[in-house]
């Protein structure tokens, strides 16, 4: 099956995620039918650069480029023709130009990894079939269909709310400019929702596997079953690693854009508050900061919970097994299971660039604080230099006025003598 409605649609935020996993509502039934009818399927998720869905993506992206380029050029020309070339004004214009960057990075960050995404989808399909054959029960993802549709609608609604707030809070943010940003913000929301669903899917699969594991341990001679569950767990860990490889560039650039935009927006807001006080403009920048930090927190927090559920919590369950109540072969399988968890840590790594977890979120805050301090020091230096120039101007003006008055008095003295 072509990789339609997975790589293409959600990357453009055109119904970004409901096509990605909504079909999983029916996968369990399909897997049951395949298992008990002993049928074989050759359908696989594949990626093709000239498929109908990909050609449709080229068309949509090209049409969006027209609006994005036009708005970007106008904002750039307005800044170049403006007489106000203060450093703060430069920073302010960079903020809204940086938000346009993800649109142009999309082909580089997402499209060229389409084959890796297809591998990840096939791994899920094969895993569910294998899980059903070994445990006898399918993996049930509760409320997945309604969740994906709900997140899709929420992504677009949040996009309109964030961009329209900038239109009303920023003086130079024209309404027609907002059409260049709606799909970009919705795309970022869709990526975050996609990550949320994947992480929850891993947690659900791990919970089901742990439940079946306990049932197997309560049966007689569970060594063989435990070995099969160990293979299932290793496959689940490999899928988590494949998720990072498949979306490494996309989420890597995603995190960098969030980091850059958040830092610049926070500096712009604090700088304007120091110089002019709090106004609607600063409130708009704080909206951007809150939005970006929320996305980054959700991505890091969900990855942390998925890693913990599949790794640490599963390991704790095995460590709590009473080895004295089971036979020697089962004890050996438990030990091998623990070794497998240690050797195959279920981490979400962006192809070696970074691990996605809560540490990444705190590290970003630390880096942002460092850069923000440097920028604020630069701002305070500019303010001190401005204050010195103003003080010097006032002193010179007072000195000149005093000298002028003294000269006038000297010129009036001869008249008084006469």
pLDDT score for 107: 84
Number of structural domains found in the chain: 1
Task: Specify the pTM.
Answer: 0.80
Q: Which residue has the higher pLDDT, 191 or 384?
A: 191
pLDDT in tens, 377-400: 877 776 666 666 666 666 566 556
Which one, of 158, 137, 310, lies nearest residue 235 by Cα? 310
Question: By three-state DSSP, how is residue 2 classified?
Answer: strand
pLDDT at residue 161, as a whole number:
94
CB neighbour list of residue 307: distance below 8 Å, 6 or more residues apart: 240, 346, 347, 348, 357
Q: What is the pLDDT of residue 347?
A: 86
55 in any annotated domain: yes
Nearest to 376 by CA among 288, 269, 284: 269
Q: Which helix (H) or strand (E) holds 383?
A: helix 358-417
Query: Average model confidence (pLDDT) for the chain?
Result: 78
pLDDT at 389: 66
Q: How many CA atoms lie within 13 A of 160 on its CB side?
A: 5
Q: Which domain holds residue 26?
A: 7-386
Of 9-23, 110-124, 234-248, the range with the lowest mean pLDDT is 9-23
Across the range 55-83, mean pLDDT stands at: 85
Q: Is the pLDDT of residue 301 over 90?
A: yes
The one-character DSSP state at 325 is G
Q: Which of 15-24, 102-111, 120-129, 370-379 has the highest mean pLDDT?
A: 120-129
- pLDDT the model gives residue 373: 86
pLDDT of residue 267: 84
Angle between helices 280-307 and 248-276 (to 10 degrees): 150
pLDDT given at position 408 = 55
Model confidence at 31, in pLDDT bands (50, 70, 90)? very low
What is the percent of the chain with per-residue pLDDT over 90, rounded to a whole number? 17
**Does residue 349 sit within a domain?**
yes
Asked if the structure places residue 333 within a domain, the reply is yes
> Is 85 a member of any domain?
yes
In a domain? residue 407: no
Task: Report, as an integer, the average pLDDT of 409-417.
Answer: 52
pLDDT band of 185, cuts 50, 70, 90: very high
Interior/surface letters 59-82, b for 16+ CB within 10 angstroms, e for the rest = ebbeebeebbeebbeebeeebeee
**Mean pLDDT throughout 5-33?**
38
């Amino acid at each position: 099956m072509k990789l339609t409605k997975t790589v293409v649609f959600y990357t453009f935020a055109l119904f970004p995620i409901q096509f990605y996993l909504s079909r999983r509502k029916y996968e369990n039934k399909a897997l049951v039918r395949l298992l008990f009818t002993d049928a074989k399927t050759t359908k696989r998720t594949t990626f093709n650069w000239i498929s109908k869905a990909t050609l449709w993506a080229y068309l949509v992206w090209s049409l969006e480029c027209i609006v994005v380029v036009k708005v970007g050029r106008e904002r750039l020309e307005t800044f170049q023709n403006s007489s106000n070339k203060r450093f703060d004004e430069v920073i302010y214009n960079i903020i809204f130009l940086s938000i346009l960057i993800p649109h142009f990075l999309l082909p580089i960050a997402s499209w060229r990894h389409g084959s890796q995404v297809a591998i990840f989808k096939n791994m899920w399909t094969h895993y569910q079939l294998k899980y059903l054959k070994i445990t006898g029960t399918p993996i049930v993802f509760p409320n997945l269909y309604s969740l994906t549709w709900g997140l899709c609608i929420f992504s677009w609604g949040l996009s309109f709310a964030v961009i329209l707030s900038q239109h009303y809070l920023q003086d130079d943010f024209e309404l027609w400019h907002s059409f260049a940003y709606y799909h970009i913000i919705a795309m970022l929301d869709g990526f975050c929702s996609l990550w949320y669903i994947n992480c929850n899917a891993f947690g659900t699969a791990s919970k089901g596997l742990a439940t079946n594991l306990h049932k197997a341990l309560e049966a007689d001679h569970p060594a063989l079953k435990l070995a099969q569950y160990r293979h299932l767990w290793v496959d689940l860990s490999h899928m988590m690693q494949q998720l990072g490889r498949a979306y490494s560039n996309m989420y890597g650039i995603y995190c960098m854009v969030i980091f850059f935009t958040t830092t610049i927006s926070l500096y712009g807001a604090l700088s304007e508050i120091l110089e002019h006080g709090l106004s609607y403009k600063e409130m708009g920048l704080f909206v951007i900061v809150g939005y970006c930090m929320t996305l980054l927190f959700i991505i890091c927090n969900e990855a942390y919970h998925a890693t913990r559920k599949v790794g640490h919590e599963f390991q704790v369950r095995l460590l709590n097994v009473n080895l004295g109540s089971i036979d020697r072969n089962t004890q050996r399988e438990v030990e091998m299971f623990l070794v497998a968890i240690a050797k195959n840590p279920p981490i979400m790594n962006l192809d070696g660039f970074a691990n996605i977890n809560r540490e990444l979120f705190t590290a970003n805050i630390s880096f942002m604080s460092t850069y923000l301090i440097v920028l604020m020091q630069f701002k305070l230096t500019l303010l001190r230099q401005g204050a010195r120039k103003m003080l010097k101007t006032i002193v010179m003006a007072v000195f000149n006025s005093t000298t002028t008055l003294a000269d006038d008095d000297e010129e009036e003295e001869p008249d008084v003598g006469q």
